[in-house]
Amino acid sequence: MMNRRQFLAGIGAAAALGAPARLRAGAAFRLGLTPVFLDNDALVIDRLRAALGQAMGAPVELVQRRTYQEITAAILDGSVDAAWICGYPFLQHRDALALLGVPVWRGRPLYQSYLITRPDDAARSLGDLRGRVHAFSDPDSNSGFLVTASDLARMGETPERFFSRTIFTYGHRNVVRAVAGGLA
């Protein structure tokens, strides 16, 4: 399994091999980040930038975009050198992208998704949310859309039929805000 340092070193090595002229010219390596990285997580973002820069021996510029689609477009058009994206956009464009690494948590790859309600809500399962308004994060997000859509498919349902209405908030934090504010 690959740990965080190996992942960053791998990105650095792949980027150095793929863009030697750019790095020799002193241009910053541009890493695209999806909305999973929150603007107010400045310490985490700065540590990521510093660790990657140290592994590469070159300056690193982190580029954040509002949607998965925007950051996927940036990696495809070359306006970023690499991007931290989830699995679905990678699979959609696997012929044009190369997998450099997978994050590892406590020694293994880990991916989680949480279904949340307000504390006073009686719902205890996805089935209890039938006919309600549901907030998704992003249509290209594994945890923010595809996990729930997949669970519904196993129930013979689609989000459009199961929920009375669905909205996309384009950010996991925005989903939490929508639920806390009673919008979903």
Q: Are residues 90 and 9 in the same domain?
A: yes
Q: How many CB atoms lie within 10 A of CB 95?
A: 5
Question: Is there a domain that residue 169 lies in?
Answer: yes
Contact 2, 102 (CB under 8 A): yes
Q: In the chain, pLDDT over 70 holds for what percent of residues?
A: 84
Least confident span in 22-31, 53-62, 152-161:
22-31
Structure confidence at residue 12 (pLDDT): 53
Residue 131 lies in a domain: yes
Query: Is residue 105 located within the same domain as residue 159?
Result: no
Domain residue limits at 146? 126-180
Whether 86 maps to a domain, the answer reads yes
* Cβ density class 52-64: b for 16+ within 10 Å, e for less: bbebbebebebbb
Does the pLDDT value for residue 14 go beyond 60? no
Q: Are residues 22 and 73 in the same domain?
A: yes
**Between 4 and 97, the higher pLDDT residue:** 97
143: left (phi over 0), alpha (psi -120 to 50) or beta: alpha
Mark which of 60, 84, 109 sits at the end of a domain: 109
At 35 the pLDDT is 73
Tell me the mean pLDDT in the region 132-149: 95
Which pLDDT band holds residue 20 (cuts at 50, 70, 90)? very low
Q: Radius of gyration over alpha carbons of the chain, in Å?
A: 19
Asked whether 181 and 150 are in contact (CB, 8 A), the reply is no
Query: What's the whole-number mean pLDDT along residues 2-18?
Result: 52
Let me know if residue 114 belongs to a domain.
no
Same domain? For 22 and 69 the reply is yes
Mean per-residue pLDDT for 78-98? 93
Which residues pair with residue 105 across a beta bridge? 108
- pLDDT-derived band of residue 25, with 50, 70 and 90 as boundaries? low
Q: Is 60 in the same domain as 12? A: yes
As for how many domains the chain has, the answer is 2
Average pLDDT, the chain: 86
Q: Are residues 11 and 69 both part of a single domain? A: yes
86 and 21 belong to one structural domain: yes
0.85 cut: is pTM over it? no
